[in-house]
Amino acid sequence: MDFRYLGNSGLKVSEISYGNWLTHGSQVENEQAKACVKAALEAGITTFDTADVYANTKAETVLGEALDGVRRESLEILTKVYWPTGPGGPNDAGLSRKHIHESINASLKRLRTDYVDVYQAHRYDTETPLEETMEAFADVVRAGKALYIGTSEWTSEQLQEGHRLARELHVPLVSNQPQYSMLWRTIEAEVVPTSEELGIGQVVFSPIAQGVLTGKYKPGAELPAGSRATDDKGGSNMISRFLNDDVLTRVQELKPIADEVGLSLSQLAIAWVLQNPNVSSAITGASRPEQVTENVKAAGVKLEDSLLKRIDETLGGIVERDPAKTAQNSPQTRPGR
């Protein structure tokens, strides 16, 4: 496993991190989930990403159990706050001072730790003054409950303002967690240049586009049974945008390129996002331990510029690049259940 600095901080994270967005507490039985975490540790992954909303807090609980007994100082644990949890009352979501402080305390209890390495705003809260949010995050850091703070799917303008307030409050805002893959490049035009200027690193999710870049979805074919595309617990919502014959055909055309460099399609996809120097880590999930073992083979891979150009030519116009899509990923009003 190779390691990278998280933004311009002194914190190193594993190039490939393990996330449990759609698996722990929902798709995968607990013992299988723990086996995946064990495989991640054995493969050299030290960075684990979760959120309180995943499986309505159950994912944090499973991860805390799976990591119990592992030397805490050898791990980087990231979690997030914003989306509704619990019964979904009026203060059970968002980035208000009340919700942030109640959420970090509950997350730490579920994760069985005294602190998280990075506490992240899971989206931008349009209904809470940003000053209130950043002051609450600063208090969390000063209380020793988080070492750094981060964001997820914030726009360039939101990052600039959040970073300015963080500097004034003397707390380290060092990361952003966006969706990023060969097919979804909305951060490249604005978020990445701003992040490079501010010293913010990307911890990207869905580098294999929810499984589309594995090549298992074939144009004109039935969806594989048990796949994310058939998951009625949330997985199918995100992947549906990619499930058209044009996208799936072009993904199949990437196979000869992957073969040339001795990688599977999924390994090529993970290696591709890691070619971006602003990416600190690529989050991968797994429902089976062998998937973890395969994913980590993308660490340390260098793809030549000529090969990256061929990937671009193969995918052509199916790539989503519109930076406005980032803002669209945050609700315009605070969500409720």
14: in domain = yes
Whether residue 214 lies inside any domain: the answer is: no
Spatial separation of the C-alpha atoms in residues 81 and 104, rounded to whole Å? 8
Residue 203 belongs to a domain: yes
Give pLDDT, residue 24: 55
- pLDDT cut 90: percent of the chain above it: 79
Tens of pLDDT, residue by residue over 178-211, are: 999 999 999 999 999 999 999 999 999 999 998 9
Q: Is residue 250 part of a domain?
A: no
CATH number at residue 49: 3.20.20.100
The values of phi and psi at residue 162, to 5°, are -65, -40
Q: Do β-strands 116-121 and 146-151 pair in parallel, antiparallel, or remain unpaired?
A: parallel
Catalytic residue among 54, 82, 124, 217: 54
User: In which residue are the tokens 């602003």 written?
Assistant: 278
User: Model's pTM, two decimal places?
Assistant: 0.92
pLDDT tens profile 130-180? 999 999 999 999 999 999 999 999 999 999 999 999 999 999 999 999 999
Given a cut of 90, whether residue 48 has pLDDT beyond it is yes
Residue 128 reports pLDDT greater than 70: yes
Q: Give the per-residue pLDDT at 31.
A: 83
| 243 within domain boundaries | no
Q: How sure is the predictor about 33, in pLDDT bands with cuts at 50, 70 and 90?
A: confident
Average model confidence (pLDDT) for the chain? 92
What is the rounded CA–CA span in Å between residue 118 and residue 176?
A: 10
E strands, the chain, in order: 3-5, 12-14, 16-19, 47-49, 76-81, 116-121, 146-151, 173-176, 201-204, 279-284
Element (H, E) at 102: helix 97-111
Residue 304 has pLDDT above 80, yes or no: yes
DSSP string, 244-303: SHHHHHHHHTTHHHHHHTT--HHHHHHHHHHTSTTEEEEEE--SSHHHHHHHGGGTT---
Which residues contact residue 305 at a Cβ distance below 8 angstroms, ignoring those fewer than 6 apart? none
For the chain, how many structural domains are there in total? 1
pLDDT at position 27 is 56
265 belongs to a structural domain: no
Checking if the pLDDT of 281 tops 60, the result is yes
Question: Hey, is 76 helix, strand or coil?
Answer: strand
Give the pLDDT confidence of 221-277 residue by residue, as tens digits. Answer: 676 655 554 455 555 566 778 888 899 999 999 999 999 999 999 999 999 999 999
Q: Is residue 141 part of a domain?
A: yes
- Report yes or no: 137 and 111 within 8 Å, Cβ to Cβ: no
Q: Is 54 a catalytic residue?
A: yes
Q: What values do phi and psi take at 179, rounded to 5?
A: -75, 135
Provide the residue count of the chain: 337
- Kindly tell me if the per-residue pLDDT of 25 is higher than 60: no
Domain contains 74: yes
Query: Containing domain of residue 23, as a range?
Result: 3-208+276-302+319-328
- Residue 328: pLDDT band by 50, 70, 90 thresholds? confident
